[in-house]
A and B are shown apart, each in its own frame.
Chain A
């Protein structure tokens, strides 16, 4: 068969290529998204001191190092049986909200957004952030640049560096902020909320007011009815920093809700010989192949998923947008993958509101931002929502705090199967009678861009393979869960 290759896929983080096979009639027989990269973090982090992990795992992904830094730091808290003081938790969540807002901005304006702002079949040289700038004008461009500049400046203020922070420690953070800095963060938080509202309005004007785009979003080309996964707080509202993991089915009903440390009971992974990346799926539903539906264990973990599994947003402006989103799209759950771009902007608003909320809290200038662990390290799980999906870090150490085992389940990895399915369906829907153009191939790529993939994250490496007994203890050292992993031959 004739093979058309998209190499590399572009406007995402990470490496990938798409091979499209055309039969004699020029129809798409199949399309494969292959991930050709692997680095081996779970192998080479073994033998490292546990306290190095926030810094080492930063380098899984330079677009979302803050996510890894935070998951690693929380895993260290658990491993060292130490509970950070309240000010530290607030500082961490504030930092995390700022990061989330910045990362979602980068994705919408630089990675996924250009397809809508400039047009999916616009000349390739224009389909990028520079084309967006040319299209929207200097004033809007200035807003976007300011948002990113502010975000990274605050990431640097709190975490030490604008990329790859060096701040998280078991028991808290390495340094705090003073009142002057708090005021700056609060001021920029107000700007961020304004920017998020502006972005949602821009989406309305550029995308939702364009009937061609609406057809694309609500049509059948980019739809898969899968399970969804995200983290929710005690009120079932979306939370990026902490909470329980909730999975709902294609019809929206709850399939599972569990503490992050229980993930082995719910998620399994499959290996294919044509990709370095494995395919997670819901263990209890089972693997039925790259198909959707209630009988297939394939699930998505994206901004859209988070909105689907939650019952609302915790901040007022985002909550209103949440309601409008589902009203417009005909109720929950929404399975139209391109709507993820809209969901992402609602999350941007929530992150900005949370940023403002936390920065207005006087406790974040407290000097009590760190306590030292007193117990010996054993094992810990740390979970956050990365912008691209649920992120889990799981470490086991010896009595010196040197790691003996490392498991990482990373945001985009959750989505490997649905991304492959989305790419194939888009290719089959767009390419007929052998007519292949560059613009059509870009529309195939739009199928994955909605997920905001981070294949660098996804290809850290993959879990260690020791049969193991895992004891999860609370900060007092009491056994909360015991999990055993069996050997399956």
Chain B
């Protein structure tokens, strides 16, 4: 069912590190803090595990936005791997902007295990920002609508109409 902007519900994929930010999400849950249900969480052991491929795959498969979360700089469970996430995020933003993606659609958030409220608020803000931007539907960028099939049929016809020359 095609979504109009009025009833558009953003689909956001979040990659959350196990130690801080996933626990923050957990805390939001047990504390019954309400936040937008649009985020599908994928837990990784560390934000340093986040491969740019994950972000690109999520967008290519139709996500309207992607969220990356991890422990605050200096507090990474694995010492300093979250700086890798920071640098990869910078590379991704730089690249995705050149491809025409709005920078608001990719967000990096640091959250400690005690910051359930803050994480919930960050999620809500992201969802609203993306609702305003509208659906992304990246695969539509390369889809075609039948002109191609007409063109292929025209080639067959052109070949059939040319005269035979004995070889």
- Count residues of chain A with CB under 8 A from any CB of chain B: 11
Which residues of B have CB within 8 Å of A464? none
Interface contact A7-B166, CB-CB below 8 Å: no
Chain B positions within 8 Å of A438 at CB level: 165-167
Contacting pair B167 A3 (CB below 8 A): no
A437 x B166 contact (CB < 8 A):
yes
Within 8 A of B (CB), among A383-398: none
Q: Indicate if B61 sits at the interface (CB-CB under 8 A).
A: no
Q: Who on chain B is nearest to A441 by CB?
A: B165
- Give B125-167 as 1s and 0s: 1 = Cβ < 8 Å from A's Cβ atoms: 0000000000000000000000000000000000101110111
- Contact between B161 and A3, CB atoms less than 8 A apart: yes
A7 to B159, alpha carbons, bound, how many Å?
A: 9
- In contact, A124 and B162 (Cβ under 8 angstroms): no
Q: Is the CB of A2 within 8 A of B163?
A: yes
Query: From residue B2, how far is it (CB to closest CB) to chain A in Å?
Result: 32
Judge whether A436 is part of the interface by a CB distance below 8 angstroms.
yes
A interface majority secondary structure? mixed
Q: Which of B159, B161, B167 has the most CB of A within 10 A?
A: B167
Do B165 and A3 have beta carbons less than 8 Å apart?
Answer: no
State in angstroms the CA–CA spacing of A438 and B166 once bound together.
7
Residues of chain B lying within 8 A (CB to CB) of residue A7: 159, 162
Q: How far is the CA of A2 from the CA of B163 in the complex (A)?
A: 7
**Contacts of A1-23 to chain B: CB distance below 8 A:** 2-5, 7, 19
Contacts of A436 in B (CB 8 A): 163, 165
Q: A19: which B residues are within 8 A, CB to CB?
A: 162
Q: Are A5 and B167 in contact (CB under 8 A)?
A: no
In contact, B167 and A4 (Cβ under 8 angstroms): no
Q: Which of A405-443 contact B (CB under 8 A)?
A: 436-438, 441
B166 cross-chain contacts in A, Cβ below 8 A: 437-438
CB distance from B125 to the nearest CB of A (A): 32
CA gap between A4 and B159 in the complex, in Å: 10
User: In the assembled complex, which residues on chain A have CB atoms less than 8 Å from the CB atom of B162?
Assistant: 3-5, 7, 19
Q: How far is B162's CA from A263's CA once the two chains are assembled, in angstroms?
A: 41
| CA of A7 to CA of B167, assembled, Å | 13
A250 to B75, CA, bound (A): 80
How far in angstroms is the closest Cβ of chain B from A266? 37
CA distance A4 to B167 in the complex (A): 13
Expressed in whole angstroms, the minimum distance between the Cβ of B51 and any Cβ of chain A is: 26
Closest to A4 in B: B163
Nearest opposing residue in chain A for B165, CB measure? A436
Residues of B with C-beta under 8 A to A3? 161-163
Q: Within 8 Å CB of B163, what residues of A?
A: 2-5, 436
CB distance from B18 to the nearest CB of A (A): 40
Query: How far apart are B32's CB and chain A's nearest CB, in angstroms?
Result: 50
Closest to B161 in A: A3
**Cβ of A124: which chain B residues have Cβ within 8 Å of it?**
167
Q: Check B161 against A4 for contact (C-beta < 8 Å).
A: no
Q: Which residues of B contact A (CB under 8 A)?
A: 159, 161-163, 165-167
4 closest A-B pairs by beta carbon, nearest first, are: A5-B162, A438-B167, A4-B163, A2-B163
**Known A2-B163, A19-B162; further 12 A-B contacts with Cβ < 8 A:** A3-B161, A3-B162, A3-B163, A5-B159, A5-B163, A7-B162, A124-B167, A436-B165, A438-B165, A438-B166, A438-B167, A441-B165
Give 22 A-B contacts (CB < 8 Å), ordered by A residue.
A2-B163, A3-B161, A3-B162, A3-B163, A4-B162, A4-B163, A4-B165, A5-B159, A5-B162, A5-B163, A7-B159, A7-B162, A19-B162, A124-B167, A436-B163, A436-B165, A437-B165, A437-B166, A438-B165, A438-B166, A438-B167, A441-B165
